A and B are shown apart, each in its own frame.
Chain A
Amino acid sequence: MIESILLVDDEDLFHLVFEDACSLLEISLSLQSVNSSDEAAKMFKKWYETSSKEKPECVFVDLNIIGSSFDGIELIRKINFEYGNHVIIGIISSSNEPEEQAKAIKAGAQFWIIKSDDIEPRLEEFRKDYEGYKNRTAPFKIYK
């Protein structure tokens, strides 16, 4: 089970879906959701500066976060290269653009989960691969 998860997505309804799916699949008991990449960046900056242990173990970031000053890929880049690494981070988006996926890999994303009505099987598959991400042995994977 993942210790704690942070979801960054502008869609509030998806927060509920993700929370229920994670609980039902017993992926994680601790889940925090924010709907802006700016807010997430601030949180990571604070955790980085205070060396806080509140930092989540895994982060799911939406690609296009409406109302934010930068997109999900830029947030991943910031978390990986500005606020220290040591989090498992990836994209959760309805987009399946290879160009964006290439950018995400460059920014340090470890996975790409494609959002759909049936998200549970993908999260189940992700849970199985999670140890590999934790050990940094699993390659970048797209969950379709």
Chain B
Amino acid sequence: MITFNKQSKQQLINLCKTRNICLEGNIIRVINYSGDTEFEEYGKTCLEKDREMRKKRLEITKQIQFKNSELEKLNQENQRILEELTESLKSVEESKIQYEVQNRELILWKEESEKISLELQQEMLKSEQARVDAENAKNTAENDLDVLQKRTQTQLIERIVKVSLGVILAVGFITTIMYGIALFMEKDTQIIGSTWANMFGILLTNAFSIIGTIMGVKYASKET
């Protein structure tokens, strides 16, 4: 314990009374106050003031500590949000790059598609032209065939007509000669005459029939 002399004690007491300056801290607790009532009072006053000051300081320190911990939590939360934002930004950047690449690919694909489409159109035009050419060729061929068929038919008809007419004329001519010879030689012409007339009638009928048939065939083929 520290013991002060009377003069020092009085100086300390006066300092406290006149200028409100007192001892503080743990030194107050290691001073010997016994034997002097006034100095004991001084000691009590110093101790009381020190307690009050420490209480205040403790309270303030606790508040600062509490605010610090709150700030620390907020800082951690901010850090977390910042990290999330950074991650999101990174993700967005990556997506942007990906979109750009995809976009470029799409543009290339579009250009390629347009090129192919153009080529296809050209090919279609060519194909259409080829189809038209083929159609024309087909029509020409059909026409040619038709013409050929008609010509053949006509030739056939002509031949048939000629042959038929020839046969008719020949039969008619022969029968007529035979009938003339019979008349000239004054032979019985009853049979040959009726035969000739009969024959001639048949031949004439047949000739018309042939001509009618030919005309019918010709008309029918013309319709189709």
Any A CB within 8 A of the CB of B61: yes
Any A CB within 8 A of the CB of B68: yes
Contact A17 B26 (CB under 8 A): no
A30 to B54, CA, bound (A): 16
Tell whether A24 pairs with B54 under 8 Å between CB atoms, given A29-B29, A30-B26. yes
Q: Which of A1-20 contact B (CB under 8 A)?
A: 11, 13-14, 16-17, 20
A23 to B50, CA, bound (A): 10
B61 contact from A20, A23, A24, A29, Cβ within 8 A:
A20
Contact B62 A117 (CB under 8 A): yes
Question: 28 pairs across A/B with beta carbons < 8 Å?
Answer: A11-B65, A13-B61, A13-B64, A13-B65, A13-B68, A14-B65, A16-B57, A16-B58, A16-B61, A17-B58, A17-B62, A17-B65, A20-B55, A20-B57, A20-B58, A21-B58, A23-B26, A23-B50, A23-B54, A24-B51, A24-B54, A24-B58, A26-B29, A29-B26, A29-B29, A30-B26, A117-B65, A117-B66
Any A CB within 8 A of the CB of B30: yes
Report B's interface with A, CB cutoff 8 A.
Answer: 26, 29-30, 50-51, 54-55, 57-58, 61-62, 64-66, 68
A24 to B51, CA, bound (A): 6
Determine the chain A residues whose CB is within 8 A of the CB of B61 once the complex forms.
13, 16-17, 20
Interface of B is mostly: helix
Question: From A24, which residue of chain B is reached at the shortest CB distance?
Answer: B54
Question: From A115, which residue of chain B is reached at the shortest CB distance?
Answer: B65
Tell whether A20 pairs with B65 under 8 Å between CB atoms, given A29-B26, A30-B26. no
Question: Min CB distance, A20 to chain B, in Å?
Answer: 4
Determine the chain B residues whose CB is within 8 A of the CB of A26 once the complex forms.
29
Question: From A94, which residue of chain B is reached at the shortest CB distance?
Answer: B69
Tell whether A24 pairs with B55 under 8 Å between CB atoms, given A13-B68, A29-B29, A30-B26. yes
Determine the chain A residues whose CB is within 8 A of the CB of B64 once the complex forms.
13
Of A16, A20, A21, chain B has the most CB atoms within 10 Å of the CB of: A20
Question: Min CB distance, B58 to chain A, in Å?
Answer: 4
Question: Min CB distance, B73 to chain A, in Å?
Answer: 13
